[in-house]
């Protein structure tokens, strides 16, 4: 009998395959929409940049508005069934958009086209706010053990990074040779593949069933209970704080790195894409190594050490003056940053009991997204206004507004590492169960029967 290629276990492999195909489809879809709006719908129009930014705003609105409430419904519903329904919904939505784009470009005013696109992006991402917490809960049942959960997190992050390396180069040829409809259809078919993969897995329900199901309370009450549970768990709060602080480094890079390339690294703007490629490759390496690092050093140690190393490397990157040195250092910086994300995944999985997993992620995802947006805006404002005229030299080192922001972000990340070293408790399982009992008076199933005694949290995809 020939051996089968599996990642961790058979069901996880099937879930991973469906998400890998779907991630590539999403990358093709997102890139296609940006290209079509910029080069066809709004070609040579002064409002083209605003039209393109509307796509990002629509996706962010879904995360911030729908995300917090979606977790309540995910905790109520069957997780596997929720994933299946969202994939059917998204496949149908993309099919409808594909049919609409069969109309000639001049058949509808530009404003109507944009409204159709923004509505589709909003609804697709709104469905994702139900899919992601459900997937998080299913993953906790499919994969157990700190090391395996870290491996799953690393594989997921590496897959996501690879999808955004492979997907965008496919989008342009599909759009300009085959047409917009074929590029959109690829994403619709990717949801069908994901649906079939999810349907093929079997999700066990851990722990004994309650003889009498608890009475369901109102949406508002359950939402508040989820917030209360999250706030009472020092462990979850610490993880969230660490994630938010970590966004300062990433947010500053995403906003200002193009200016750092031309002003500090003294490179032509067309080389900027290579820095993004270096971060992508570094992310893949870090994700694939993350599981092994967690196995060797443990999730908590990998978390605070990843923050310390990433912060130091970001400060070192801010002092670079040559393109090759900056390219190499940016690659090295991304490796521990991704290991950190991988290490946090099992921690988050272990800290969230089954009945609260949807609501825990409904807090974690939107707050992280908001932090990412705010860090990008804040770093741009600092470099463009408050620190615009900052500059000079100290101890033979020259400073400018952009590298000052990078250095300050690195110092903040280092301080976050020190905080993680102090704040992450030695064990979380008892605290999680205690917090759950306080937030929910219904009988408990016992001490974390369905989670490991402490793992990290990942997710990423």
> What is the three-state SS of the chain?
CCCCCCECEHHHHHHHHHHHHHHHHHHHHHHHHHHHHHHHHCCCCCCHHHHHHHHHHHHHHHHHHHHHHHHHHHHHCCHHHHHHHHHHHHHHHHHHHHHHCCCCHHHCCHHHHHHHHHHHHHHHHHHHHHHHHHHHHHHHHHCCCHHHHHHHHHHHHHHHHHHHHHHHHHHHHHHHHHCHHHHHHHHHHHHHHHHHHHHCCCCCCCCCCCCCCCCCCCHHHHHHHHHHHHHHCHHHHHHHHHHHHHHHHHHHHHHHHHHHHHHCCCCCHHHHHHHHHHHHHHHHHHHHHHHHHHHHHCHHHHHHHHHHHHHHHHHHHHCCCCHHHHHHHHHHHHHHHHHHHHHHHHHHHHHCCHHHHHHHHHHHHHHHHHHHHHHHHHHHHHHHHHCCCCCEEECCEEECHHHHHHHHHHHHHHHHHHHHHHHCCCCCHHHHHHHHHHHCCCCCCCCCCCCCCCCCECCCC
Give me the residue label for tokens 């879904």. 62
Cα dist from 68 to 57, 63, 80, 381, whole Å: 17, 8, 20, 28
CA 64 to chain centre: 14
pLDDT band at 16 (very low <50, low <70, confident <90, very high): very high
| pLDDT over 60 at 253, yes or no | yes
Token couple for 82 = 């929720």
| pLDDT over 50 at 211, yes or no | no
Q: What is the pLDDT of residues 129-174, one digit of tens each?
A: 999 999 988 988 898 887 788 888 888 888 887 887 788 778 888 8
| pLDDT over 80 at 277, yes or no | no
Let me know: does 456 contact 146? Beta carbons within 8 Å. yes
pLDDT value, residue 449: 31
- Mean pLDDT (whole number) for 412-427: 80
pLDDT value, residue 433: 38
pLDDT value, residue 168: 76
pLDDT band at 64 (very low <50, low <70, confident <90, very high): confident
Let me know: does 150 contact 345? Beta carbons within 8 Å. yes
Q: Which domains does the chain possess?
A: 10-199 (1.20.1250.20), 219-439 (1.20.1250.20)
Euclidean distance between CA atoms 338 and 30, whole angstroms: 23
Token couple for 37 = 């709006």
Q: Which residue has the higher pLDDT, 305 or 379?
A: 305
Token couple for 157 = 């992050």
Euclidean distance between CA atoms 202 and 69, whole angstroms: 27
Phi, psi (degrees; rounded to nearest 5) at 217: -95, 175
Token couple for 145 = 């053990």
| pLDDT over 90 at 21, yes or no | yes
Rounded to 10°, the helix 146-173/323-351 angle is: 130
Burial class (CB in 10 A: 0-12, 13-18, 19+), 209: exposed
Token couple for 212 = 């009498």
Euclidean distance between CA atoms 117 and 60, whole angstroms: 14
Phi, psi (degrees; rounded to nearest 5) at 353: -60, 160
Euclidean distance between CA atoms 441 and 227, whole angstroms: 15
pLDDT value, residue 394: 60
| Lowest-confidence region among 130-144, 255-269, 359-373, 387-401 | 387-401
- Mean pLDDT (whole number) for 317-340: 90
Sign of CA dihedral 446, 450, 456, 461: negative
């Amino acid at each position: 009998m020939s051996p089968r290629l599996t990642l961790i276990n058979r069901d996880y492999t099937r879930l991973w395959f469906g998400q890998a195909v779907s991630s590539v489809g999403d990358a093709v879809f997102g890139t296609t929409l940006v290209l079509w709006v910029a080069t066809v719908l709004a070609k040579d129009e002064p409002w083209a940049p605003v039209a393109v930014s509307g796509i990002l705003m629509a996706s962010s609105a879904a995360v911030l508005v729908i995300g917090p409430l979606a977790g309540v419904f995910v905790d109520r519903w069957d997780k596997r069934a929720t994933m299946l329904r969202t994939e059917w919904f998204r496949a149908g939505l993309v099919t409808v958009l594909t049919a609409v784009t069969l109309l000639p470009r001049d058949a509808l005013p530009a404003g109507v086209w944009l409204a159709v696109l923004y509505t589709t992006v909003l609804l697709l991402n709104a469905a994702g706010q139900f899919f992601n917490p459900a997937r998080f809960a299913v993953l906790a049942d499919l994969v157990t053990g700190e090391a395996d959960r870290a491996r799953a997190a690393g594989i997921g992050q590496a897959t996501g990074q690879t999808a955004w390396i492979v997907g965008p180069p496919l989008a342009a040829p599909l759009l300009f040779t085959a047409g917009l409809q074929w590029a959109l259809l690829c994403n619709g078919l990717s949801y069908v593949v994901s649906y079939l993969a999810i349907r093929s897995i079997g999700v066990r329900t851990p722990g004994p069933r309650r003889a009498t199901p608890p009475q369901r309370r109102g949406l508002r009450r359950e939402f508040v209970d989820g917030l209360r549970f999250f706030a009472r768990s020092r462990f979850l709060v610490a993880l969230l704080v660490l994630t938010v602080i970590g966004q300062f480094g990433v947010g500053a890079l995403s906003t200002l790195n193009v200016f750092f390339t031309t002003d500090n690294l003294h490179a032509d703007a067309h080389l900027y894409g290579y820095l993004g490629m270096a971060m992508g490759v570094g992310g893949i390496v870090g994700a694939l190594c993350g599981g092994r690092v967690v196995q060797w050093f443990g999730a908590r140690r990998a978390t605070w050490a990843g923050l310390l190393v990433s912060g130091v490397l970001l400060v070192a990157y801010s002092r670079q003056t040559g393109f090759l040195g900056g390219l190499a250092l940016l690659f090295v910086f991304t490796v521990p940053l991704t290991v950190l994300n991988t290490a946090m995944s099992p921690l988050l999985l272990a800290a969230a009991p089954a009945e609260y997993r949807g609501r825990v992620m409904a807090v974690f995802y939107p707050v992280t997204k908001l932090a990412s947006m705010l860090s990008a805006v804040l770093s741009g404002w600092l470099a463009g206004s408050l620190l615009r005229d900052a500059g000079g030299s100290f101890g033979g080192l020259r400073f400018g507004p952009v590298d000052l922001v990078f250095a300050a972000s690195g110092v903040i990340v280092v301080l976050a590492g020190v905080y993680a070293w102090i704040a992450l408790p030695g064990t979380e399982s008892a605290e999680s169960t205690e917090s759950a009992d306080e937030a929910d008076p219904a009988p408990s199933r016992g001490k974390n029967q369905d989670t490991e005694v402490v793992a990290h949290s990942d997710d990423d995809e």
